[in-house]
Amino acid sequence: MQTYLRGRDLIGDLDFSKEEVETVLEVAFDLKRKRATNEPTPYLRDKVLAMLFFFSSTRTRGSFEAGMAHLGGHAAFIESKTTQIAHGDTPKEIGEIFGRYFDGIAIRHVDWGVGNKYLNEVAKYSRVPVLNMQCDVYHPFQCLADLMTIIEKKGRDLRRKKMVVSWAYAASYQKPMSVPQSLVLQMPRFGMDIVLAHPPEFRLMPEIMEQAQEQARKFGVGFEVMDDMEKAFQGADIIYAKSWGAMVHTPDAEKGAEIIKKYSHWITDEKKMALAKPDAIYMHPLPADRNIEVTDGVMDGLQSVVYDEAENRMHVQEAVMALTMS
C-alpha cells in the first residue's frame, strides 16, 4: 500500500502508479463501508476545496460537494463565467491565489486543445493539489469509479476479462473524448483485454493510443482496435459504450456534427448486448442520450450498473481528496 500521496496532483490517469491507484481503491472501499454504517469520516475537517467549472456538471459537482462534506470540509463552487477569469485572470494567478485561499483546487475544463493545458498551468503555480474533474484529454475520477465498479461486479482478478470501449451515436453535441482515453490508459494495468471500437473518424489522440498500447504490453494484456460495433461486443464481459467527438479528425464542430449523423446505427440495444456474455455489465458515465445512444431497455436493464458507477464517483473522489489534501 502506497501511503504517502499528500500534496500530489491528479491530472492524468498515469500520474498515479498502479500501486497508488490500488491504494486509492482500498481507501474508497473503506469510505463506502463507513458511509453504509454511518461512521463519521472527518479526515479533512476545516479544509476547503475550490471547484472551478468551465463546463456544466451534475454528478461531478454533486459528488465532490457531498464528498467534501462527508470528510468534514467544504467545497466552494466557482463558475468561470461569473468570475474575473472572463476578464483576464490567468492560470498563473488562479494557481498562485487559489493555492493560498484553498487546500485543493479541482477544475473541469473540457475545451478541445485548451483544458488540459489550463490545468497543468494552474498546477505549476499552485502550492496545493490540483485535481482534474475532467479535461479534454483525461477524466481520471470517472475512470477510478469505473474500475471500482468493475471490481465490485467482476471481482479483483480481472485478468482476461474482455472490456469493450465503444463509440456510440449521440446527436446532442460533440462530447469530449476524455472518458475513452482514460479507460484505455488505466484498464490494461489491471489485467483486462481491451477492445476499442469506433468509426474511422472517431480515433483517439495518437499519443494516448501509444501510451495505452505501451501499458498493454507492459501488463501483458490484449489491445485491439476495430470499426465494427457488433463484432466488438461478441463475448465481452464489460460493455462501456458512449459517444465522443471527431476532434482528432476535424476540430470543426459543424463538420464533426455531419460526420456523427452517418453512424446513427451505433446504438447500444438489446440485440447488441445479447452478443456479449450473459453476465456482461453495461457501463456509461452519464448523461446518455436515451434511445439514441442507448435504449431504455439496456440503460434500465438488469445488466446496467450505471447508478452504482455514479455512486462510486463520490467514494473514489473522497479517497483521493483524503490522501492528497490531508
Q: Is the pLDDT of residue 172 over 80?
A: no
Write down the pLDDT at residue 192: 98
**pLDDT interval class at 301 (50, 70, 90):** very high
Write down the pLDDT at residue 26: 98
**pLDDT interval class at 252 (50, 70, 90):** confident
State pLDDT tens for residues 35-71. 999 999 999 999 999 999 999 889 999 999 999 999 9
The average pLDDT across 211-233 equals 98
Across the chain, what does the average pLDDT equal? 96
The three cell numbers locating residue 269: 440495444
State pLDDT tens for residues 175-215. 999 999 999 999 999 999 999 999 999 999 999 999 999 99
Residues 105/98, Cβ–Cβ less than 8 Å? yes
Full set of structural domains in the chain with CATH:
13-139+313-325 (3.40.50.1370), 142-309 (3.40.50.1370)
**pLDDT interval class at 142 (50, 70, 90):** very high
Write down the pLDDT at residue 171: 80
Residues 96/124, Cβ–Cβ less than 8 Å? no
Q: Which residues of 3-19 are buried (b: 16+ CB within 10 A; e: fewer)?
A: eebeebbbbbbbebeee
Q: Is the pLDDT of residue 149 over 90?
A: yes
CA distance 226 to 67: 38
Cα 213–chain centre separation? 19
Lowest model confidence (mean pLDDT) among 16-20, 36-40, 82-86, 126-130:
82-86
Q: Is the pLDDT of residue 296 over 90?
A: yes
Residues 320/10, Cβ–Cβ less than 8 Å? yes
CA distance 63 to 315: 8
The predicted model scores a pTM of: 0.97
Q: Is the pLDDT of residue 321 over 90?
A: yes
Better-scored residue on pLDDT, 83 or 139: 139
